[in-house]
Amino acid sequence: MKTIAENRCFGGTQGVYSHASKACGTEMTFGLFLPEEAATGPVPVLWFLSGLTCTHENAMIKAGAQGWAAEQGIAVVFPDTSPRGEGVANDEAYDLGQGAGFYVNATQDPWAPHFQMWDYISAELPDLIGAKFALDMDRQAITGHSMGGHGALTLAMGLPGRFRSVSAFAPICHPTRSDWGRKQFTAYLGADEAAWAAHDATLLMQKNGFDGPVLIDTGTADQFGDLLGTEHLAAAMAARRQDGVLRLQKGYDHSYFFIATFMEDHIDFHAQALYA
């Protein structure tokens, strides 16, 4: 593992690191905020999964998570959204290829050799950071934005017992019924829609639910609202009597201004579960 940068931040350290990924077959980069408490012992972990076109850097710089995480003594991991580099498949469209991994394990060419983001986020990166840093991997929570909100919800429901809480900002809630999903799942997973179900938060909520609390915020002025399918997940949560809150925030859009506005709420929400 290589250290790209380490900066003092709210009494702790904001680091950026890279490593050779076996899952993705290329060099991967991630950010990690460690609060001051990590100097004396393991701290709980919050994952932040970013959305389309983002790298590890967008949320790390724009979301405003570090200050609130420092107050709660929580580490925050900022993974990249896809594999990158020479020889990694890509597409001219912003919503497919590099920057658009959708947190799945691709089975179709040309994506399969590198686009193994489910394995990377669920296994390889946790094993790496758990061995290298003072993190309590028995206390994990997960959040994300847009495509990353989709990833947070599907990982939380797809890995029972892993995460104590899950939240999302404007998540893609029903990708099997959205252009933000059907296009990418066809490319990465093939035409058999049965293979898509494990990566659809609405279908997972209907089938399994989540064994902890859920918090979702979406803006009423979100310019991508028709692609998110918020109403489908809301109906599934209500039908299942899921422990959770879904809030429609008046006037807010899809931007990081929206995320930064409600980041304190999300950090506090996860802190309650991580320290329960």
Q: Write out pLDDT tens, residues 48-95.
A: 999 999 999 999 999 999 999 999 999 999 999 999 999 999 999 999
Using DSSP, state whether 236 is helix, strand or coil.
Answer: helix
Question: Left if phi > 0, otherwise alpha if psi is -120 to 50, otherwise beta: which for 83?
Answer: beta
Q: Which of the 8 DSSP states describes residue 202? A: H
User: Hey, how many other C-beta atoms are within 10 angstroms of the C-beta on 86?
Assistant: 6
Segment 10-20 mean pLDDT: 98
The alpha carbon of 6 is separated from its chain's Cα centroid by a whole number of angstroms, namely: 22
Domain covering 2-274, topology: Rossmann fold (3.40.50)
Single out the catalytic residue among 80, 200, 217, 222.
222
| Closest of 167, 165, 178 to residue 52, by C-alpha | 178
Which band of pLDDT confidence, cut at 50, 70 and 90, is reported for residue 129? Answer: very high
pLDDT at 70: 98
| Residue 158 burial (10 A CB sphere; 0-12, 13-18, 19+) | middle
Single out the catalytic residue among 21, 50, 82, 146.
146
Whether 254 is catalytic = yes
Q: Which of the 8 DSSP states describes residue 87? A: T
Distance CA 66, CA 13 (A): 9
Single out the catalytic residue among 114, 232, 254, 266.
254
- Is the Cα torsion angle 63, 170, 57, 24 positive or negative in sign? positive
pTM of the model: 0.98
Whether 146 is catalytic = yes
**Mean predicted lDDT score pLDDT of the chain:** 98
